């Protein structure tokens, strides 16, 4: 991973939901593509020491994967927890309608 964009004031979020500004996202993707980078998924935070993907996250990322299946067939969900240790950041792969935790050998 080379770039993770920060939250933006035009996005809307609550404790259990996130609505990204699609126009802003499109501009960021185009800018990154011009630099040779590619969107692989999106990230958010959890108030846990070691983050765990929730049913709400799975539903949200599944909708994201279905909506952008052609442009991004196998998205990655990254969740950042509170721990400064390596296990404070985790990733999940969405592939073939399933979600599995990413590991070094995934």
| Rg of the chain on CA atoms, in Å | 14
Starting at the edge strand that comes first in sequence, how are the strands of the sheet with 98-101 ordered? 41-45, 76-80, 89-95, 98-101
The structure's pTM equals 0.79
**Predicted confidence (pLDDT) per residue in 50-79, tens digit:** 999 999 889 888 888 888 888 888 889 999
- Strand (E) or helix (H) holding 99: strand 98-101
Tokens representing residue 96 in the block: 């073939």
Q: How far apart, in whole angstroms, are the C-alpha atoms of residue 105 and residue 73?
A: 20
**Rounded mean pLDDT, 83-96:** 92
Tell the residue number behind the tokens 């950042």, with chain if given: 80
């Amino acid at each position: 991973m080379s770039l993770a964009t920060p939250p933006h004031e035009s996005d809307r979020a609550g404790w259990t939901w996130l609505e990204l500004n699609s126009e802003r996202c499109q501009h960021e993707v185009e800018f990154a593509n011009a630099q040779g980078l590619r969107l692989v998924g999106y990230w958010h935070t959890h108030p846990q020491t070691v983050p765990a993907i929730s049913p709400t996250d799975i539903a949200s990322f599944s909708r994201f994967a279905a909506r952008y299946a052609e442009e991004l067939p196998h998205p990655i969900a990254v969740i950042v927890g509170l721990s400064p240790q390596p296990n404070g950041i985790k990733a999940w792969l969405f592939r073939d309608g399933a979600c599995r935790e990413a590991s070094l050998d995934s």
